[in-house]
Amino acid sequence: MPHPTHYVILNANAGTANATGVTSAELERLFEAHGLDAKIDADSERNLAERIDAAMASGAETIVAAGGDGTITALAAALVGSDKNLAILPLGTVNALAKDLHVPLDLEGAVAALATGSSQRIDVGEVNGRVFLHKVVVGLIPGVAAGREHIRGRQDATAKIGFLRYFFRRLARARRIAVAIEPSDGERRVERVQAIAVASNAYDEGLGLFFSRHSLDRGTLTLYVLHHFTVGDFIRLTTGMLLGRWKNDEALTMESVKGVTIDARKPTLKVMFDGEVMSLQTPLNFTIRPGALSVIVPATTVAPEEAA
């Protein structure tokens, strides 16, 4: 029996999938309508690692992540260095990589784009051997993100007001942390920071571009160091990002590196890893793997070298 060309892993618990009730039957209908041969794995009760192993062994050329950023990052980690493609049906809350790749955010549009798309190789970041696609953040932000988890799925005003109160209390009480930063081609230095982020490639600066990247294949990491983050800094930086002028903000420095080690006195650091909060052992050793992942992009996407 021939192998399906597409193997779809549906995470029905992802933000948009959960809200809209996406089903395997609906996915089968959409794939058929666009002439795509696909096997749909909608067994969200099964361990994700087992589901990924089954997808990798299926013989399918393209493995499709129908879920949020966590599902996409987990699948990408398995696909790195292989000849299989990663495709995305953005069913999460943030959908960061899908936006960077210009994948339509509606399900039918995303399947249509998959049918006519082409493969493109992009970089991935690694920290202590774990693959990330966007950024890893240390410091204040993971704590705030952890607080945000308490109101996930709640749309009522009380929950949102409660989170804002929590956020500004954290800002008022936040202490800077001492970290040792050692770029692969630079000198080791110790700094007191509010937060530090390491991103695969760099975020763009421009009107309305909010944590957006047009180039994912430059083979570099970008180190963002937030030296202080008061309520005034938060308002100024957020406004600057929306208006497209934030890179020269006095609270922030950035540099392009091929690799960097971040260390602290603590044996572990809480980080935000592609949107998920977790703890990693120190030191944090970051590297970039150029062109390590093949992704399917819409046919209308401008090639990175043309966009530069």
Number of domains composing the chain? 2
Closest among 224, 217, 226 to 288, alpha carbons compared = 217
Residue 303, pLDDT score: 46
- Could you tell me if 68 and 103 lie in one domain? yes
- Could you tell me if 108 and 143 lie in one domain? no
Q: How far apart are CA 121 and CA 297, in angstroms?
A: 10
Q: Pick out the chain residues at pLDDT < 50.
A: 1, 144, 146-154, 302-308
**Is 37 inside a domain boundary?**
yes
Residue 134, pLDDT score: 94
What residue has token string 């990663």? 86
Residue 115, pLDDT score: 94
- Could you tell me if 112 and 134 lie in one domain? no
In CATH, what number is assigned to the domain containing residue 262? Answer: 2.60.200.40
**Is 40 inside a domain boundary?**
yes
**Is 300 inside a domain boundary?**
no
**Is 297 inside a domain boundary?**
no
Closest among 269, 285, 4, 14 to 132, alpha carbons compared = 285
Residue 169, pLDDT score: 60
Residue 214, pLDDT score: 87
The residue segments making up the domain with residue 239 are 130-290
**Is 124 inside a domain boundary?**
no
Which backbone phi and psi does 229 adopt, to 5 degrees? Answer: -150, 75
**Is 220 inside a domain boundary?**
yes
Burial class (CB in 10 A: 0-12, 13-18, 19+), 181: buried
- Could you tell me if 72 and 191 lie in one domain? no
- Could you tell me if 151 and 267 lie in one domain? yes
Q: How far is CA 271 from CA 9, 131, 146, 195, 207, in A?
A: 26, 14, 10, 10, 28
- Could you tell me if 214 and 240 lie in one domain? yes
**Is 1 inside a domain boundary?**
no
- Could you tell me if 102 and 150 lie in one domain? no
